[in-house]
Amino acid sequence: MSFSFNNNHFFYRTLGEAMRREFGCNVWKVSVDAGLSCPNTGIIGEINKHNEINKYNGCIFCNINSFSPSRRLVNDKSILTQIDKGIIQLKRHYPKAQKFIAYFQPSTNTNAPPEHLEIIYNEALKHPEIVGLSIGTRPDSLPDDVLNLLSKISQEKYLQLEIGLQSIHQKSLDFLNRRHDYSTFTDAFYRAKKHNIKIGIHLILGIPTENRNDIIETAKEIARLKPESIKLHNLYVVRNTQLENYWNNNNLTLPTINEYAEMTVDFLERIPPDIIIERIASEASEDFIIAPEWSKIKHAARNTINKLFLLRKSYQGKYYTNN
Ligand code: SF4
C-alpha cells in the first residue's frame, strides 16, 4: 500500500493531499507572529509561574526568533502585512499555492485573554486569501474560555490547534524543560476534542533520554488518541539555546540521519493511516541550525525516510491495530 496523489507516491498521508481534499485546491500555511509571549520563558534566576527558580529560558531547544526570523526580528507587527509578505514569498517558491491558512507559529498563541485573541485571529481571517487558522500552543495554555473562542471560530472557518507535546515520557519532558506533564496534555486534548476542534500534535524524535521502545510506546499512545495530524521533528541544535551549551560541552548525542529514519519509520508504522503527517523532520533557517549537519540539507531526512520505507516494503499504519 502507498498513498498516492497526482502520480506522486508517498508512504504516509501528506498535508498537501489532505488540504486538496478539504479545500479542492492547493493550500499552504503562511506563518504569522502575533507577538505573544510563552509561559515557559522568563529571566534565568527569576521565580517562574511554577514557583521554581528558572534554570533555563524556556524549552532547551527553543529560540523563538528561529521560528520566523524575518518577522519577529524586523518587528513587523501588522498581521495583514505579514500575511501579504508571506503569501508573496510562498507563491514565489510554490507557484501552485492557491489559498492559505494563517499559521500563528512562534511562541504560545493562546497565551492572552480571549478578547485579545479574538481580535488577532479575526484580523487574519479578514485577508481574502486566508481560508482558515492554525494555532500553535502549549498544553498548559488552553483554558476553557480560550477553547470556547476557538470552538466558536471553528464552527464557521477551518481551524486547527497545534499543540506542542514533544514526548509522552516525563523523563524527556524534564530533559527538554517543558514544565508540563503528560496529564496536562491529555486534559487539554480531551477538552479541545469535546469542542470538536481539530488537533495536531508536535513530537520530537531523537531525544537522548529515549530508546526505540519509548518511541514505539509514544506511537501507540498517539495512535490511541487519534489526533487529526502529527508533526515530527528531529532534535536539533539551534543557536542561543541551552541545547547549544550541551552540544558545545559534548554533553549531547544526536541521531545520525539513518538512525532518525529508523525511528521515524518505526513510529509511522504504528500510526493510523488516516492521520495527516504534516512534517517528518525539523525545518529552521540555516542561520540558526548548528547540528546535526544533515538537518541543514533540504529534503535529506525525507529522502532517507522514504528509502527506508521502500526497503522495508512498509507504510504508515502497517503495524497499527485498532484495539
Ligand atoms: S518551544 Fe514553545 S513552549 Fe517551549 S519555550 Fe519555545 S515557545 Fe515556549
Residue 59 in contact with ligand 1 by CB distance below 6 A: yes
Residue 62 in contact with ligand 1 by CB distance below 6 A: yes
> Would you say residue 237 lies in a domain?
yes
Mutation probe of ligand 1 site: the residue of 62, 180, 202, 288 with most atoms within 8 A of C-beta: 62
Alpha carbon separation from 178 to 32, 139, 168, 238, 310 (Å, rounded): 23, 10, 11, 16, 35
Instruction: Please enumerate in sequence order all residues whose Cβ is within 8 A of that of 173, keeping only pairs 6 or more positions apart, or say none.
Output: 166, 167, 180, 181, 182
Sign of CA dihedral 212, 105, 257, 277: positive
What does the pLDDT look like over 157-198, one tens digit per residue?
A: 999 999 999 999 999 999 999 999 999 999 999 999 999 999
Alpha carbon separation from 251 to 151, 246, 247 (Å, rounded): 44, 5, 6
How far apart, in whole angstroms, are the C-alpha atoms of residue 130 and residue 122?
A: 11
Residue 107 in contact with ligand 1 by CB distance below 6 A: yes
Residue holding cell 477553547?
147
What does the pLDDT look like over 108-165, one tens digit per residue?
A: 999 999 999 999 999 999 999 999 999 999 999 999 999 999 999 999 999 999 999 9
pLDDT band of 1, cuts 50, 70, 90: low
The one-letter code for the residue type at 33 is: D
Residue 40 in contact with ligand 1 by CB distance below 6 A: yes
How far apart, in whole angstroms, are the C-alpha atoms of residue 76 and residue 35?
A: 9
pLDDT at position 4: 53
Sign of CA dihedral 135, 236, 210, 41: negative
Mean of per-residue pLDDT scores for the chain: 91
Residue 255 in contact with ligand 1 by CB distance below 6 A: no
The one-letter code for the residue type at 313 is: K
Alpha carbon separation from 15 to 98, 200, 307 (Å, rounded): 15, 11, 20
- Count structural domains, the chain: 1
β-strand pairing of 8-10 with 289-291: unpaired
pLDDT at position 286: 77
Percent of the chain with pLDDT over 70: 89
Residue 19 sits in a domain whose CATH number is 3.20.20
> Would you say residue 318 lies in a domain?
no
> Would you say residue 319 lies in a domain?
no
For residue 40, the CA-to-ligand 1 centroid distance in Å is: 6
Sign of CA dihedral 226, 230, 233, 239: negative
Q: Which residue, among 59, 42, 22, has the nearest Cα to 179 in the 3D structure? A: 59
**Residue 7: other Cβ atoms inside 10 A:** 5
For ligand 1, atom 5, the nearest C-alpha belongs to 58
pTM of the predicted protein model: 0.93
What is the rounded average pLDDT of the residues 225-241? Answer: 95
> Would you say residue 8 lies in a domain?
no
**Residue 158: other Cβ atoms inside 10 A:** 18
Give, for 193, the enclosing helix (H) or strand (E).
Answer: helix 182-194
Domain of residue 85 covers 14-312
> Would you say residue 2 lies in a domain?
no
How far apart, in whole angstroms, are the C-alpha atoms of residue 292 and residue 252?
A: 11
pLDDT at 300 over 70: yes
Stronger pLDDT, 10 or 251, i.e. the higher one: 251
> Would you say residue 205 lies in a domain?
yes
Alpha carbon separation from 142 to 19, 39, 112, 146, 148 (Å, rounded): 26, 12, 10, 6, 10
> Would you say residue 196 lies in a domain?
yes
What does the pLDDT look like over 36-58, one tens digit per residue?
A: 989 898 655 566 656 665 555 78
pLDDT at position 182: 98
The one-letter code for the residue type at 177 is: N
DSSP string spanning 82-99?
Answer: HHHHHHHHHHHH-TT--E
**Residue 81: other Cβ atoms inside 10 A:** 11
> Would you say residue 320 lies in a domain?
no
For ligand 1, atom 8, the nearest C-alpha belongs to 38
